[in-house]
Structure formats: C-alpha cells, structure tokens
Amino acid sequence: MFDPKAEAMSRDERAALQRHRLWGLVDRLLAAGGVQGRRLKEAGVSGGADVTLGTLADLPFTTKQDLWDHYPFGMLAVPRDQVAAVHGSSGTRGRPTLVAYTRADLDLWAAMCARSLACAGAGPGSVVHNAYGYGLFTGGIGIHQGAVALGATVVPMSGGMTERQLRLLADLRADVLTCTPAYALRLGEAAAEAGVELPALRAGVLGAEPWTEELRAAVEAVLPIKAVDIYGLSEVIGPGVATECLEQDGLHVNEDHFVVEAVDPATGAPVPDGEPGELVFTTPTKQALPLLRYRTGDIAALTRGDCPCGRTLTRMSKIRGRADDMLVIRGVNVYPSEVERVLLGTGLVVPHYQLVVDRRAAAPRLVVACEAATAGDPADALARALREGLGLSADVRVLPAGTVPRVEIGKAVRVVSWDGGDPPLAGLD
C-alpha cells in the first residue's frame, strides 16, 4: 500500500474522518457562495455542524449541467490566482467540461494515483509505461504524477506509435503498463504479430472506458499481466478515485477523500449495497472545485467488507455503463458492456466489435459488427446468445478480419449511430 494508515483504517475511524472533512467542505461552500452554497442555504444548512454522514443523502445534488452553466470558473471555491492547473474533457456530446486544481489538489491527485499503482504491485524502482493520453485529458498526467510520487520510473509515451511503444516496453523492461483496456489489447496483439516478448511486464492499470471480465481475460491472454481496473473522472479529480488490487475483486474507493453513494438513476434515492446504482461523489478535501453529491452518470454497485489485500475501503464493481448510454432496442434496455460480456463470453469472436444503432427507420435496430475467432460464420450462434442472455434481438454481422477499427489513440468507440448515408463500417447494409 502507498498509504497503509489511510487504506487500512478502521471503519469507525474513517467515518469520523469523513464527518470532520464533510463539515469543513460545507463551511467552505457556504463561504464561497455560488450555486452549491446557495442550495445548501435553501436546504436549511447554516454550517458544517448541521450535516452528518447519515443526512448527506438529504442534501442537493450537483450535476454536470452545473459545470456547463458556470463554465469556465463560475464554481471556484478559491481565488482565481490560486488555480495551478486546468484539466477536463470534451464532455458529453462535445460540450467542454473544465476542472480547476490548486497545488494542493495536484498533490492529492498524485497521491491517489500512487495508491492506484501500488494496488497493482508497483513501488519504488518500478518502470511504469504510461500510454494514456497527455494534455487536457487527465489520464496521462495523472498517472505520470502518481508514478513520480510513488518513486517509480515513468515512461511518458502517451498513445499511438504502437511499434515504438513495443520497442520501449521491451528495451526499458517496464513492469507496469497503464493505458485503456482496448489499447492494451492492441499492444498485445501487435507484440504477437511482431514476435516481441515482454517478460518484465507483470501488471496493467487499465481504465478510462468500461470493460468486462471477458475483456480482461482477452487482455491477459495476449499480455503477461494481471489487468486491474482504475476509475476516475475529471470532475472528481481524474484517475485514482478507485482502483482494483491484485485480488481483482472490486475497485477500492479512496473514501477518505471521496465519499461515495449509489442512488437510483431515476429517483435519486439511495440503493442498497450490492445493487447497481448511479455513483455519486462528494469531495471533502478538494480545494479549487469541491463538489457536493456530484452525480457521475456511471452505474456500479458498492460493497463493504475487508479485502484479502488488507484494505478496508469500500469497493465498487466495474462500471456497467452510463445512465445516458443505455441503448433501447425494441423495448429492451441494455448497456454496451452487457453486449460485450455476452459476445466475448461465447469464445466465437475476437475482442473487437462495434455496436451500430441503425436509426434510418422509425424503430431503431442494433447491428452488432464483429470478427470471428475461428473459421466459419458464428452470426446465428451470436444472435441466439444475445437473445437468450439479454432478451435482445440484434442483427449480427461477422466481418472480415481487421474490419472493426482498432484503438491507437484515445478511447475505444463501441457505439456508433447510423442516421443516414453510407454505413459507418464497410460490409453493413
């Protein structure tokens, strides 16, 4: 562990710490004014002492719409001259989402990413090959800072240039790979094609997109690693909010800094532990842009209980999908990750696919574009598996090898819309 005192803290001690930090957050939001402070006052909160962990669920939510409405600096809780960096993403449907950081926020972020790398077994002297993208996107710089804080050697590759990536993975003998799971798969396949061996690799910290156990198995089949999931979002801090350890049994939420809830996406009411819900985070120790009950849109389940690794942190499941990414096909609601689970679970396809939502008619249809793992056409078997496993009627198209796009830079595009004109992939009609 990077910080055993925090990661293995007793539940009572952690609850007391969270309560104290929550009081401080509420006082700061009230003092800063702004939309969050105003909502607290409207809810009858006059100071931090009015709030407990038990009453947190009674407080108002914060949403991405708030960040858009007060873009770029309207939700700052510190003076503008204390902002040391800005990160973010394009946001849903291309709308910019920017997040400010103070120096202390950057230090916190580095420590959280160091915890994440330590979860994968990294430590001082490890060589971390970082193939997450750098820039406004938080993945590359977040992991970079975490590796430095951990005392590891970081190789700041960013994405793309796969041949060069393989050369440096081999020459520098990296033991930890950090990138998206889709790109890890691409690297593994490219290594096999080029005859490159990577015997020093032992772990991969893979995130930035939802992925299933079936995709984990595919990645571990082409790379000599244990693949662990890392979760984060720029609004909360970036990568490092939660990470699997080598037990691969849920992502440990760093809840001394990120208080997590799971709520019903439709009603906002809390859901029981073990039941999927929308993740909601409160950030009691962030300075520049602290958030109270931020609705992430990400769907996962929470579980309590100690892990064999020794951490006592609440664990979250892998992300099932986003509330706004659910597909509705002929009355059936399904997340793309559920389709991935069924497809890869058959063993009939390679782990590259794309879901095409054909909206050219009044009733959308789902076209599942994939590539066969062996000789023959498994389209009928795959359609039957989707129907039996998900109740989903889909048009499965098995395309020639190499047709489905491979990821070189950025996140995998799993879902595309066909609204008219030429098909988004060759071979579809």
Mean pLDDT for each 10-residue chunk of the chain (429 residues)? Answer: 97 97 98 96 96 96 95 95 91 74 98 98 98 94 98 96 97 98 96 97 96 96 98 96 98 98 97 97 98 97 96 97 86 92 96 94 91 93 95 94 88 91 88
Q: Which residues of 143-182 are buried (b: 16+ CB within 10 A; e: fewer)?
A: bbbbbebbebbbbebbbeebeebbebbbeeebbbbbbbbb
pLDDT of res. 94: 60
Beta pairing partners, 94: none
Strand order in the sheet with 259-263: 259-263, 277-282, 294-300, 321-322
Domain residue limits, the chain: 1-322, 326-418
**Residue with structure tokens 């873009």?**
71
Q: Which residues contact 122 (CB under 8 A, 6 or more apart)?
A: 128, 147, 150, 152, 175, 176, 203
Which superfamily does 326-418 belong to?
ANL, C-terminal domain (3.30.300.30)
Q: What global pTM score does this model have?
A: 0.93
For β-strands 153-156 and 127-130, DSSP reports them as parallel
CA atoms within 13 Å, Cβ hemisphere of 376:
9
Looking at the domain 1-322, which fold is it? Rossmann fold (3.40.50)
DSSP tag of 270: B
pLDDT of res. 323: 85
Residues in the chain: 429
Question: 3-state DSSP call for residue 16?
Answer: helix
Q: Which residues contact 226 (CB under 8 A, 6 or more apart)?
A: 120, 121, 202, 203, 204, 220, 246, 248
